[in-house]
Structure 1
């Protein structure tokens, strides 16, 4: 049996009411979820309905087809033959099978489609499915009928069929992250339900279903656990793992993952904890000193100081000892996952630290004059990509701006950034980075990326670099986990993303002991 090369969702599974003449347009639970997941799955999808469907329902289906870029197929009284021919002409006759998803009340739609090699997924009674199975089992003894109790289960069936069709070459990757982030990745083609060129199939994990049963279907889990942080207690002396409280769902996922010794996680929770702590990252970046060679540009982290109170009488002396001349940039120690993690300030005089409105504990960081240019680097496995973006101005320009406001601290949200000059971003990759921008020492940045990968144990991460005027120092000012890398063209970034995941899975698989036959 081949993979799934096209899906028809019958109106009987989309509406809460099974009666076609009923004008109630309420969607069945899970219908909106399924429509969204299939939209960017790279599996052609259409909506089917009979001529007797009420006008309000038919109109809504047409609207949904427009919103999600689906096709609409009308089942005539002569039944499925015309629709099957229309689907084949529209979606092609490549290898694999078309699938029709119907409710158990529409057994009348089964016969011709199964005979023609279609797959049928029935939403409803398992008992009824068994009865139908007896009529339509193929000569090989394989059933073309599948049963689900919830629409959310359909991606699992599609994933398994596509994985089976591809054979040992395929690997299923279950993924979970907040909806906005997932849709951003998905619309760029990152999460197809059909196999990628290197054999990856992406399955959205759903907390409405059993997590353990879903994870049994996949070879690896890609997660953005930082999307599901409830609280972080940076004031605690406990280990990082004990400072973070995740949502109940993420806690369940983490418990299951930690019990699976042969399970590939991209990336282990323990590896992402340092990225949540700006102080920890700054301490790790001190190790960049080992990469520096005399006569070459220097790469380093910014000078820094942890502050538990802005009213410390020795603060000025501590700033001097930490090589932190004014102005300074002040950031919360917690780097992400909570509402005020991005509430920052640029401070121009020591007196302004008193009652500064930045969450404590905080990290005071060196403000580096960098010609208003920020280099955003993305490490996807062993490949490095970058984007050049306009950044905040040098200290003298900031000082003038602060004087206009009485030298008060400049408060800002780093996700929105300070007002800057119009952006003219440039992008590139390691193969031609030097040619495009002579300021960047490609070898140095690549060495730093490799070093960070080893130190952090992360598969996909980003880091921001500024080049200090005068010294040419390459200063890493931020490190983040699983960034969106939106500045890199999709036709370059997405295949590199898939390659990085595949290499990680293969690497973890090679570490597992061979199972006895």
Structure 2
């Protein structure tokens, strides 16, 4: 394939320059933290945007972008849509597997199998549950059920009636990214609203754990684990309102969304050193289990028992809280081994 005039030209690699092919959708490459990487060749790291829409084979990538030492990718979305049968994503993943097979010594950030695991919420829960048992760390995950049929829905309702699964619950898609539904969640507090759910695609029902409206986000970039605090959803009980749907990429619902009186806000107590050490240890344990070096994870602390629960893990987050992202990412890309 002959590259169009607007594509990134390549030059013969210099001995002291690390050439990194960054694979992500063009609209994402043009904004946010990724733009910082593309704007300069600081620290001997030259990042070029590899646009999979412009190539059909490994040979096309070689011809258009030349020698690459590292592939930095965000193929999670293509992995999701490949599993859903989308032709473009099937082509993109086929091209990447062909390129990796052709260049077996190129460093991949991050391993495809580990990234694929994070695209499915059930797989993430299975991984986290096993890790909680094997790591010796004091964390857990909320109880959950997968409903993909009328029979599975009836079984989940039976679990609620027996106390095995407690209301409220969060209803989520199994796809953790990529689809419109992956960012939409629904808080359900009444059993009749679970009975009314239409099962068009598999749904995860995850117990809603009261956590005083505080969420702790961990960001892993190589050997660094950064912890920040955010406002989260209010404390709830069962049978308080009709379902409340929200987009996780926008502002979270408040007590008023559930027709509850406005209660005093739970003020931040700050992140203690003990809390930071504990959350960082969880991040490193997930890293060892998945062999990933770029991911985010969410931790809440249960109001009643002060248990730490991991409620989400996602690949290659925005790293908005990391002031020196560009320098840290460049340093990480120069590391020859996975963390």
TM-score (norm 1): 0.56
Q: Find the counterpart in structure 1 of residue 205 from structure 2.
A: 364
- 1:49-198 maps to which residues of 2 (within 5 A)? 150-152=4-6, 154-157=8-11, 160=12, 163-164=13-14, 167=15, 169-185=16-32, 189-194=36-41, 196-197=42-43
State how far apart, in whole Å, the 1-side matches of 2:90 and 2:82 are: 12
Alpha-carbon distance change, 507 to 299 in structure 1, aligned in 2, over 3 angstroms: same
Shift of 1:389: 1.2
Is the contact made by 1:170 and 1:200 (CA closer than 8 Å) also made in structure 2?
Answer: yes
Shift of 1:376: 1.3
Shift of 1:212: 3.0
SS, match of residue 81 in structure 2:
strand
Alpha-carbon distance change, 347 to 440 in structure 1, aligned in 2, over 3 angstroms: farther
State how far apart, in whole Å, the 2-side matches of 1:244 and 1:319 are: 40
Alpha-carbon distance change, 320 to 276 in structure 1, aligned in 2, over 3 angstroms: farther
SS, match of residue 371 in structure 1:
coil
State how far apart, in whole Å, the 2-side matches of 1:264 and 1:497 are: 14
SS, match of residue 184 in structure 1:
coil
SS, match of residue 272 in structure 1:
helix
Q: Find the counterpart in structure 2 of residue 275 from structure 1.
A: 118
- 1:296-353 Cα offsets, whole Å, 9 max, x none, are xx31222212221356433322346784211011111121122322232111122211
- 1:473-484 maps to which residues of 2 (within 5 A)? 473-484=307-318
Is the contact made by 1:185 and 1:191 (CA closer than 8 Å) also made in structure 2?
Answer: no
Q: Find the counterpart in structure 2 of residue 205 from structure 1.
A: 50
Q: Find the counterpart in structure 2 of residue 62 from structure 1.
A: none
Alpha-carbon distance change, 232 to 414 in structure 1, aligned in 2, over 3 angstroms: farther
Q: Find the counterpart in structure 2 of residue 409 from structure 1.
A: 243
State how far apart, in whole Å, the 2-side matches of 1:344 and 1:461 are: 21
Is the contact made by 1:381 and 1:499 (CA closer than 8 Å) also made in structure 2?
Answer: no
Task: Find out whether 1:493 has 2:337 as its counterpart.
Answer: no
Shift of 1:255: 2.1
Q: Find the counterpart in structure 1 of residue 135 from structure 2.
A: 291
Alpha-carbon distance change, 361 to 173 in structure 1, aligned in 2, over 3 angstroms: same
The number of equivalent residue pairs is 318
Shift of 1:200: 1.3
Shift of 1:497: 1.9
Alpha-carbon distance change, 420 to 178 in structure 1, aligned in 2, over 3 angstroms: farther
State how far apart, in whole Å, the 2-side matches of 1:170 and 1:189 are: 17
Alpha-carbon distance change, 153 to 277 in structure 1, aligned in 2, over 3 angstroms: closer
- 1:275-424 maps to which residues of 2 (within 5 A)? 275-286=118-129, 287-292=131-136, 298-309=138-149, 312-319=153-160, 323-356=164-197, 360-396=201-237, 400=240, 402=241, 408-420=242-254
Question: Per chain length, whose mean CA-contact separation is higher, i.e. which structure has more relative contact order (CA < 8 Å, sep 6+)?
Answer: 2
State how far apart, in whole Å, the 1-side matches of 2:184 and 2:313 are: 17
Is the contact made by 1:344 and 1:411 (CA closer than 8 Å) also made in structure 2?
Answer: yes
State how far apart, in whole Å, the 1-side matches of 2:273 and 2:145 are: 28
SS, match of residue 178 in structure 2:
coil
Alpha-carbon distance change, 369 to 339 in structure 1, aligned in 2, over 3 angstroms: same
Alpha-carbon distance change, 412 to 306 in structure 1, aligned in 2, over 3 angstroms: same
State how far apart, in whole Å, the 1-side matches of 2:82 and 2:146 are: 17
Over aligned residues, Cα RMSD in angstroms? 3.1
Alpha-carbon distance change, 252 to 439 in structure 1, aligned in 2, over 3 angstroms: same
Is the contact made by 1:178 and 1:227 (CA closer than 8 Å) also made in structure 2?
Answer: no
Shift of 1:364: 1.2
SS, match of residue 181 in structure 2:
coil
SS, match of residue 22 in structure 2:
strand
State how far apart, in whole Å, the 2-side matches of 1:439 and 1:493 are: 23
Is the contact made by 1:305 and 1:322 (CA closer than 8 Å) also made in structure 2?
Answer: no
Shift of 1:230: 6.7
Task: Find out whether 1:266 has 2:109 as its counterpart.
Answer: yes
Q: Find the counterpart in structure 2 of residue 28 from structure 1.
A: none
Q: Find the counterpart in structure 2 of residue 452 from structure 1.
A: 286
Give the gaps of 5 or more residues in structure 2: 256-264
Alpha-carbon distance change, 176 to 476 in structure 1, aligned in 2, over 3 angstroms: same
Shift of 1:381: 0.5
Q: Find the counterpart in structure 1 of residue 78 from structure 2.
A: 228
The structure having more radius of gyration, on CA atoms, is 1
